[in-house]
Amino acid sequence: MSDSREQDKFVVRLPEGLRPEIAATARTNNRSMNGEIISRLQQSLAYEQLAQQQSQLISQLLKRISTLEAEPC
């Protein structure tokens, strides 16, 4: 793991009440608040990528179904 001074830093303004919620969740998951936020961001990005892949697959399957239905028996 690299030294924290070499890592990118980003300041975020949290809506009122979110900080204690993140802190509580981080404690439950035995992580720092920073670790919890990073974990949540990574999960969100992975989910978004998976959802996009699923959407593309569904679109391909629907096109294939339409093609098969259009073929004479």
pLDDT the model gives residue 73? 75
CB atoms within 10 A of CB 3: 6
Q: Which two tokens stand for residue 10?
A: 């980003």
What pTM value is reported for the model?
0.71
Mean pLDDT, the chain, as a whole number?
93
Residue-wise pLDDT for 33-62, tens only, equals 999 999 999 999 999 999 999 999 999 999
CB atoms within 10 A of CB 46: 10
pLDDT the model gives residue 1? 56
Q: Is residue 31 classed as helix, strand or coil in its secondary structure?
A: coil
pLDDT the model gives residue 2? 64
